[in-house]
Amino acid sequence: MRRLASASTTPTPRPRDGYFFEDYQVGQHFHHATPRTITAGDVALYIALTGARQPTHCAATVATAIGFRDTPIDDMLHFHIAFGKTVADISYNAVANLGYADCRFLRPVFIGDTIRCETEIVGLKQNSSGKTGVVYVRSNASNQHDENVLTWVRWVMVHRREASISATKPEGQTEFAATIDDSAIHAPRIRNASDAMYNATGSTLFWDDIEATGKMLIRHPGGMTIEESDHMLATRLYQNTARVHFDLHHMKNSRFGQRLIYGGHVMSICRALAYDGLENVLSVAAIEAGSHTNPTFAGDTIYATSHLMSKGAINDDVGAIRIKLNGYKNVDIEKDTLTESNQVLSLSMIALMPRKK
């Protein structure tokens, strides 16, 4: 697939050292290499790295019983593979990925599907230091049938090739809505989901049981320590070659002196930990907003909480729950006061859950 360096149709080669902040322009388009066909090995390795247990994604008997043609891959694996396609063009020279908005899962993805991605630069903002800037992008992923399967906005801090302290105003769009309307949520038609999920999980908590007052807070009991080998396997699985995650020699000269854990991997771990307490979640339909509030390193132990904010009926079979999923590192999740200093993730997402019949 061609990589386009402008909104025109003239292809230009990617710089050997990657793109830096001053290389980007609002309106610029990239058609990312290389398409990725999803395999059963991808799914098995993802489960090995995250401990994900959501029945819809790991039990074919459950998936087909509720109406899927096969087992859809985990939504977060879907996101990471698509995200990984964009890294070489957007965040190879990143300092850090800062946030997300308007992420919508538009269609399920199955083993055998081939994912390709394209990105538009929608906003630019130079930082006052003159050494970095923030790049705002809209990325879209599609399958082999040219059907859109995922769309998302993210913003990433990128190094400048040469420092410049000249004052520049932000260009394009640098602010995004913090909520997604229920009408924009894709919910596949399913059947008998409450019975199938109960038989799989034994949990009696369904959409109907969720308080719509924002008072339900779940401190998920488990924790997961991220080993150096875990996050390196994960970034390779996602084909995320950003230097901050991949290149220890490069990062030894950074202020951290070591590689950062890819924030998306932290998202996956938190979602996997949230299974205990939210066993009957069918899938993630959207991420309304998200940010990595502190860096995570190999050796950190991650814990998660879910604040159930509100709910809405999508159709007769499925309801949506707005969840504030927070990740913390190196805490006693049951006893400690959870503060911003030990928080590593703030993620506002919309999850789908069966309605009782």
- Quote the number of domains for the chain: 1
Condensed to tens digits (0 to 9), the pLDDT of residues 241-282 reads: 888 998 999 899 888 999 999 999 999 999 999 999 999 999
Whether residue 268 lies inside any domain: the answer is yes
In this prediction, residue 187 carries a pLDDT of: 87
- Residue 7 has a pLDDT of 46
Please report the DSSP string for 202-257 in residue order: -----GGGS-TTS-EEEE----EEPPHHHHHHHHHHTT---HHHH-HHHHTTSSSS
Helices (H), the chain: 40-50, 55-58, 60-65, 75-90, 193-201, 228-237, 243-246, 248-251, 263-273
| Segments of the chain scoring below 50 in pLDDT | 1-10
Which residue range forms the structural domain that includes residue 60? 21-163+177-354
- Residue 344: closest CA among 305, 308, 309: 305
| Position 320 in a domain | yes
Tell whether 47 is covered by a domain: yes
Alpha carbon distance 21, 129 (integer Å): 13
CB count within 10 Å of CB 39 equals 12
Task: Assign residue 229 the CATH number of its domain.
Answer: 3.10.129.10
Q: Is residue 310 part of a domain?
A: yes
Smallest CA-to-CA distance from 105 within 122, 81, 123 is with 81
In a domain, 5, yes or no: no
Answer yes or no: is 244 within a domain: yes
The Cβ-side half-sphere exposure at 120, using a 13 Å CA radius, reads: 11
Residue 8: predicted pLDDT: 43
Residue 11: per-residue pLDDT:
52
The two three-digit tokens of residue 316, written as one number: 């007769």
3-class secondary-structure state, position 48: helix
Joined together, the tokens standing for residue 24 give 């980007």
171 found inside a domain: no
SS3 31: strand
Is 309 contained in some domain?
yes
Instruction: Express each pLDDT in 109-138 by its tens digit.
Output: 999 999 999 999 999 999 989 999 999 999
Which pLDDT does position 211 carry in this prediction? Answer: 85
**Cα(53)–Cα(56) distance, integer angstroms:** 9
